[in-house]
Structure 1
């Protein structure tokens, strides 16, 4: 009997990261981290809706493998978000959202329009997504919501104050969602990347000195690739993280573990 139980446990562990029979919606799947997240979820058995404002980009992502379906979605349109959640032929088990924007300016130079633009996409759209998809998950008694915060949620940098504020706000909002939806079986977590080579960071990457300065800040001494965030998404979407909620998972190459750098004299 003990041998049988052990065999059953091993078999269960072998399926720990599998997502067969589950439906995931990835918002921002047209490029970067969103695209890699969609591909990774599909590779583990999920049917994945690749949602993006740019339908051409979403379609390109969906063409990269089986189980991927493109969907045009502008998350700044709250009614469109509600329709996406309510009008799906199959309920969503997993929601991942990566869409974000940044305006690099000091606070004193920010305009009200720029402030509203960053807050609208980074925070208000996230609020709409969590409410729209979280409601259905709570009614069905389960689901996993995964938002993308940033190292800027805990470590600020001059010129990124509004971006940092939205990411810190997102963490607290999703922690609250974890507390409120937990009794209904819904888990809510955030992934916090460090510096990732994506369209959002192209401005930095285009300046060699700036790019190298960012790379040298982490323990691993380099920028991450978008695909290096995909494992965290699969983990948080799967039963491997069945008792993980209200957490922020840092995938930052050790950036937030380091306070300064010292090279001993030779």
Structure 2
């Protein structure tokens, strides 16, 4: 029988937890997952921001069901809100444990929360090091453990973490951030190896330069902003919504044989050698 390719990216009946859904890439990921039929918990330490994301996704929402028929409204087939806000501080391991125990079983876990301190190594403080590692790596570890276990117990699930081009290409001032993003890739790959036999897929997305609150410092400096734009093959920055397709893909059955992978969404940044175009 031919495969149902028309619905390959549909997520009907699945519950997605998006950590960092209050803004930027996390917000767009939550909206995109809901648009493809998932019920989404929008988790963020900033509850009003998570509420705004949920409101954006629920207000006058046009979607389609698994048969492609247009639907309109704020609920799934069981009457649940398509997007619901949830306050979560991932720096608190107990809060993560509580979320895993109290939320409905999670089929898709996406986490985007990260921080960066742009300083050269000799200027870095121990407190700054600990702060970046705590959010970028330790919190990811706690999320994978808490929700990976329940996925493994149920025999299915997709975990999607956000790495960065800085996991492979670095520049001065990015030492600890780059180290955490490289470490996250290996953490996710190991989780893919360990959880794969239980039907759980684990992958990383590595964005290039994206206009988010985390990169506001660069955007405010026009020469710096322009230099980054010129480095990519497309000569521009990404907007957060341009990462949403990668999230939907890895969450869906379209990626049923994809695990332990790093999907670069970087406009060719990591493929291009150097910053000089030789003369023809």
Normalised-by-shorter TM-score class: over 0.9
What residue in structure 2 maps to residue 195 of structure 1?
209
What residue in structure 2 maps to residue 20 of structure 1?
12
Residue by residue, what CA displacement relative to the aligned partner does 1:217-250 show, whole Å, maximum 9, x if unpaired? 0011100000000000000000000000000000
TM alignment of 1:116-127, pairs within 5 A: 116-127=130-141
Give 3-state SS (helix, strand or coil) of 2:254's partner: helix
Residue by residue, what CA displacement relative to the aligned partner does 1:148-203 show, whole Å, maximum 9, x if unpaired? 00000000111000000000000000000000000000000000000000000000
Give 3-state SS (helix, strand or coil) of 2:203's partner: strand
Stretch moving more, 28-37 or 254-263: 254-263
What residue in structure 1 maps to residue 220 of structure 2?
206
Give 3-state SS (helix, strand or coil) of 2:40's partner: strand
Q: How big is the shift at 1:37?
A: 0.1
What residue in structure 2 maps to residue 258 of structure 1?
272
Match 2:41 to one of 46, 49, 55 = 49
What residue in structure 2 maps to residue 65 of structure 1?
57
What residue in structure 2 maps to residue 243 of structure 1?
257
Give 3-state SS (helix, strand or coil) of 1:227's partner: helix
1:165 paired with 2:157, answer no
Task: Supply the distance in 2 between the matched residues of 1:114 and 1:262 (Cα, whole angstroms).
Answer: 34
Task: Supply the distance in 1 between the matched residues of 2:9 and 2:86 (Cα, whole angstroms).
Answer: 25
Task: Supply the distance in 2 between the matched residues of 1:145 and 1:242 (Cα, whole angstroms).
Answer: 12
Task: Supply the distance in 2 between the matched residues of 1:260 and 1:127 (Cα, whole angstroms).
Answer: 34
Give 3-state SS (helix, strand or coil) of 2:57's partner: coil
What residue in structure 2 maps to residue 74 of structure 1?
89
Residue by residue, what CA displacement relative to the aligned partner does 1:113-164 show, whole Å, maximum 9, x if unpaired? 0000000000000000000000000000000000000000000111000000
Task: Supply the distance in 2 between the matched residues of 1:83 and 1:167 (Cα, whole angstroms).
Answer: 26
Task: Supply the distance in 1 between the matched residues of 2:118 and 2:275 (Cα, whole angstroms).
Answer: 25
Give 3-state SS (helix, strand or coil) of 1:181's partner: helix
Task: Supply the distance in 1 between the matched residues of 2:260 and 2:137 (Cα, whole angstroms).
Answer: 17
Please, what TM-score do these two structures have when normalized by structure 1?
0.95
Which aligned segments of 4 or more residues in structure 1 are displaced greater than 6 angstroms?
A: none
Task: Supply the distance in 1 between the matched residues of 2:216 and 2:148 (Cα, whole angstroms).
Answer: 33
Task: Supply the distance in 1 between the matched residues of 2:195 and 2:278 (Cα, whole angstroms).
Answer: 50
Give 3-state SS (helix, strand or coil) of 1:146's partner: strand
Please, what TM-score do these two structures have when normalized by structure 2?
0.90
1:31 paired with 2:46, answer no
- What is the RMSD computed on CA atoms of the aligned residues? 0.9
